[in-house]
Chain A
Amino acid sequence: MLKCFRADLHIHTCLSPCADLTMSPKRIINTGLVKKLDIIAVCDHNSAENVHAALNASRNTRLTVIAGMEITSAEEVHVIALFATYDAVHALQELVYENLTAGENDEALFGAQIIVNASDEIEGYNKRLLIGATSLPIKRIVDEIHRLGGLAIASHIDREAYSIIGQLGFIPDDLELDALEISSSTTIAAAIERFPQIKKYTLISSSDAHYLDDIGKATTQFTIEKPTLEELRKAFRDVGGRRVVAQA
Chain B
Amino acid sequence: MKLTEIVKSCNLQLVCGEKSLNRDVSGGYVSDLLSDVMANCKKDDIWLTLQIHPNIVAVAKLKEIAGIIIINGRKPEAETTKKANAEGLPVMTSDLPAFELAGRLYNMGIHGTH
Contacts and interface: CB of A to CB of B under 8 A. Distances in A.
Contacts of A51: none
A168 B34 contact: yes
Interface string B35-67: 101100000000000011111001100000000
B58 A167 contact: no
B35 A165 contact: yes
Given A137-B53, A138-B53, A170 B33 contact: no
A138 B55 CA distance: 12
Interface in A78-128: none
B54 A167 contact: no
Interface in A171-192: 172
Interface in A182-230: none
Q: How large is the interface on A (under 10, 10 to 19, 20 to 34, 35 or more residues)?
A: 10 to 19
A240 interface: no
A144 interface: no
Interface residues of B, number: 14
B77 interface: yes
Given A137-B53, A138-B53, A172-B54, A167 B77 contact: no
Given A167-B34, A169-B37, A169-B58, 6 more contacts: A74-B52, A137-B77, A138-B53, A160-B35, A166-B34, A168-B34
17 contacts: A75-B51, A75-B53, A138-B53, A160-B35, A165-B35, A166-B33, A166-B34, A167-B51, A168-B34, A168-B35, A168-B51, A168-B55, A169-B34, A169-B35, A169-B38, A169-B59, A170-B34
**Which 8 interchain pairs have the tightest Cβ spacing?**
A169-B34, A168-B55, A166-B35, A169-B59, A169-B38, A168-B34, A75-B53, A169-B35
